[in-house]
Amino acid sequence: MIDFIDRQLIELLQDGLATVSRPYALIGQQLNLSEDEVIVRLSRLKELGLIKRLGVIVNHRKLGYCANAMVVFDVPDTLVEQIAGHVSQFSFVNLCYLRPRRGEQWPYNLYCMIHGKNREKVLQQLDHLISSCGLSSVNHEVLFSRKCFKQRGAIYKADSEPGKV
């Protein structure tokens, strides 16, 4: 589905697009590709859904969105898709994921992320979400983020040889 050049392209893009007139030509120079081929390949990777989005990656904290809560719910397996669909519609929900439960110590399967300007606002939005999605009887926990120890853009390295992965 994707080849080694696609992987290299994705890796280069992790560092960000240069603020120059022809940024895709600049990426192409580093990979010996034409500007046109870079654009065609990136468009294809977006269509395939491998690139979820291409654009400005904002720093929420710096923009005043200092409160970040990961909310975890223990939702019945038969209802999870329906509830997730509902939860994802709220504009203040940034992510909505299904993850495995881990026994009694961690009985939660549905995760959503809410960014807000402060804790009170986030909790208000969560109350609204819980009541409108009919989740008031569902066990949940709210995990606000506190200290960030590490955050970096690079999430993938095309370090392996062609065809090896």
Partner 1 sequence: MLTAMHKQLLNDYQQDFPLSPTPYQDIASSLGVTEEDVLLAFNELADEHFISRIGSIIAPNHIGVSTLVAMAVPVEQLQSIADIVSRYPEVNHNYERENRFNLWFVMIAKDDEYLQSVIETIETESGFNAMQLPLLADYFINLGFEMDFDD
Please give the Cα distance from 130 to 127 (Å, whole number).
Answer: 5
Provide the minimum distance between the beta carbon of 10 and partner 1 in the complex, in angstroms, as a whole number.
6
- Phi first, then psi: give them for residue 55, nearest 5 degrees: 165, -160
Amino acid code (one letter) for 103: G
Which of 70, 66, 98 has its CA nearest to residue 82?
98
Q: Which is nearer to partner 1, 31 or 39 (CB)?
A: 39
Other beta carbons less than 10 A from residue 125's beta carbon? 19
Q: Which is nearer to partner 1, 60 or 137 (CB)?
A: 60
Q: Is 134 left (phi over 0), alpha (psi -120 to 50) or beta?
A: left
Stretch 117-146 residues interacting with partner 1 (CB under 8 A): 117, 141, 143-146
Stretch 75-104 residues interacting with partner 1 (CB under 8 A): 81, 84-85, 87-89, 91, 93-100, 102
Q: Which is nearer to partner 1, 7 or 74 (CB)?
A: 7
Which of 32, 54, 28 has its CA nearest to residue 43?
54
Provide the minimum distance between the beta carbon of 87 and partner 1 in the complex, in angstroms, as a whole number.
7
Provide the minimum distance between the beta carbon of 33 and partner 1 in the complex, in angstroms, as a whole number.
13
Stretch 14-73 residues interacting with partner 1 (CB under 8 A): 14-17, 19-25, 35-36, 39, 42-43, 46, 49-60, 62-63, 65, 70
Instruction: Evaluate whether 38 touches 24 at the Cβ level (below 8 Å).
Output: yes
Provide the minimum distance between the beta carbon of 65 and partner 1 in the complex, in angstroms, as a whole number.
8
How many residues make contact with partner 1 (CB under 8 A)? 76
Provide the minimum distance between the beta carbon of 61 and partner 1 in the complex, in angstroms, as a whole number.
9
Which of 61, 120, 62, 128 has its CA nearest to residue 93?
128
Told to check if 147 binds partner 1 by CB under 8 A, we report: yes
